Amino acid sequence: MAMHRWRPGTACVGLGLILLLTAAFAACTSTAPAAPAAPTAIPSSTQVRLVWTAPTSGGSPITGYVVTPFKAGVAQPATTFASTATTQDVTGLASGTAYTFEVAAVNAVGTGPNSPASATVTTLTSWLVPVAGQVAQIVVDSTGKYAYATNKALNEVEVLDIATRTLLTPIPVGSQPYGIDFSPDGKTLYVANSGGSSLSVVNVATRTVTKLITIPPAPTLADRPLTIAIASNNIALVGTTFNGSGYGGRLMSVNIATGAVNQSNCCLNHLTTEITPMRASGDRSKIFFTLGDDSGGRVYSYTAATDTISPSTSLNASVRNVSVDGTGQVVAWDNYQGTQFTDGSLLLQGTVSGGGQTAAAVSPAGDTAYRVENDPTNYSANAVLRFISITRFLGGSSEILADSVPVYSSSSVALVPGGSLAVIESTHGMVVAQLPTF
């Protein structure tokens, strides 16, 4: 009887043949991927971030995606992403334009069908409202209809109709107005005249100055009122300035109901630096302020309920701007390296680096900030407004603004009630900007 001898490699050859046939069978039976579900679209000014879920692969691994924008129902040039990532940025879009997006997955077999269209999104835009002179600080009324901005060069307060983006008749005030804030009832504006020794008291309804409150200069300092923030107990904190730098200013306490003016015993040897940035919380229960030319970044809080100022906390970098949420629980402190976030007790919670010279505004809920960023290598370039998630301490999408921002100033950023717009100090006036999202 014939014998079949086993030969080395016979089983391996057989196994290899089986695997080859299996792969060939799989290739014959694989299909292009299925269609993804409709993507989520998050707009910026000239780009949109898309997020979707990977579909079934059709038996062959997905190797990439093709995204097609549609404008007015007409397909625009598609973008191919040779990546399996399901979050991608589609760039090169027109600002202020409505788009939908469809996504198709790609594998070795081919390109699958397009997803259903995303919801329609409109890329963000901003508008420059030119202002002669130089805008310094901006506040927005509780209705969201009007913004009021001090103009140091023209000794007036500019009045902006936000919806129409037109300037109304300005309000003449004192010399070199800088700081500005509303009374707790919103019926009166208080303006710090940094070229003199007074606060202008403005009736909002009539847009006229009704009186002046004198801030007497210290005999040896010749200081003048510069910044102001008003608490719910009708106490206004006023930071003074002087010719020079270092410590030579004061923190003043002004009772706006009685007109009484007193020097606070706060700060280093009862003195402040030449600028004291400050901001009240939305409910005016607290005021937060900093010694702007102090390299240690000393920051403080004032509590209306007790009429007291906290001990200082050091953030270890000179702070140029402060913004607060609605209840004084989240505070953003901006410096040249980025933005530091503390809670209401001044305990550091997180830092978002970058942005060059920055200024931010915190949303009333305290979960979001909007930060103006400029290019430190090209200050004439248009600035951007970036979304920051405070809960994650991460920057999100950004919007290119319609103007640059002043080089040696922390831009004033005022959020418009309703949560969709901001009014921002810029080099040539004010920018009304739609707000980006994460």
Is residue 10 assigned to a domain?
A: no
Q: How far apart are CA 367 and CA 200, in angstroms?
A: 34
Could you tell me the residue range of the domain that residue 117 belongs to? Answer: 40-122
Bigger pLDDT: 406 vs 32: 32
> Which residues, 6 or more positions from 39, have their beta carbon under 8 angstroms from its beta carbon?
50, 51, 52, 67, 101, 102, 103, 115, 118
d(CA 42, CA 121) in angstroms, rounded, equals 7
203-227 pLDDT, tens digit each: 999 999 999 999 999 988 899 999 9
Instruction: Assess whether 196 and 324 both reside in one domain.
Output: yes
Distance of alpha carbon 293 from its chain centroid, rounded?
Answer: 23
User: Has residue 21 got a pLDDT over 50?
Assistant: no
Percent of the chain whose predicted confidence (pLDDT) is above 70: 91
Of 79, 107, 122, which residue constitutes the final position of a domain? 122
- Report the percent of the chain where pLDDT is more than 90: 74
Residue 93 sits in the same domain as residue 161: no
Whichever domain contains 158, its CATH number is: 2.130.10.10
The pLDDT-based confidence of 15 (bands split at 50, 70, 90) is very low
| pLDDT value, residue 410 | 60
Shared domain check, 379 and 231 = yes
Considering the domain architecture, whether residues 142 and 95 belong to the same structural domain is answered as no
The tens digit of pLDDT for each residue in 273-293 reads: 999 999 999 999 999 999 989
Q: What is the total count of domains within the chain? A: 2
Q: Please, are residues 406 and 361 in contact by the beta-carbon 8 Å criterion?
A: no
> Would residue 17 count as lying in a domain?
no
Question: pLDDT at position 438, please?
Answer: 59
* Same-domain check for residues 252 and 117: no
Residues 359 and 283 in one domain: yes
Alpha carbon separation from 357 to 45, 392, 414, 430 (Å, rounded): 21, 22, 17, 18
pTM of the predicted protein model: 0.85
Does some domain include residue 32?
Answer: no
13 falls within a domain: no
Say yes or no: 96 and 80 in one domain: yes
β-pair type (330-335, 321-324): antiparallel
Kindly state whether residue 30 falls inside one of the protein's structural domains: no
> What pLDDT is stored for residue 27 in this prediction?
52
132 and 115 fall within a common domain: no
In a domain, 7, yes or no: no
pLDDT tens, 91-102? 999 988 999 999
Same domain, 81 and 177: no
Lowest mean pLDDT among 113-122, 137-146, 178-187, 397-406: 397-406
Give the residue-averaged pLDDT of 95-123.
96
- Band of residue 348 on the pLDDT scale cut at 50, 70, 90: very high
Of 122, 155, 179, the residue at which a domain comes to its end is 122
pLDDT confidence band for 356 (50 / 70 / 90): low
Instruction: For residues 357 and 425, state if they share a domain.
Output: yes
Q: CATH number for the domain including 106?
A: 2.60.40.10
DSSP per-residue letters across 20-46:
HHHHHHHHHH--PPPPPPPPEEEE-SS
**Tens-place pLDDT, residues 236-275:** 999 999 998 999 999 999 999 999 999 999 998 899 999 9
Domain assignment present for 11:
no
Is a pLDDT exceeding 80 seen at residue 141? yes
Q: Does the pLDDT at position 20 exceed 50? A: no
Do residue 282 and residue 322 come from a single domain?
yes
pLDDT in tens, 65-80: 999 999 999 999 999 9
Q: Could you tell me if residue 25 is inside a domain?
A: no
Q: What are φ and ψ of residue 243, in 5° steps? A: -80, 110
Average pLDDT over residues 309-328: 94
Picking from 122, 157, 191, the residue at the C-terminal end of a domain is 122
Mean of pLDDT over the chain = 90
pLDDT(165) > 90: yes
Pair (217, 139) in one structural domain: yes
User: 313 pLDDT band (50/70/90 cuts)?
Assistant: very high
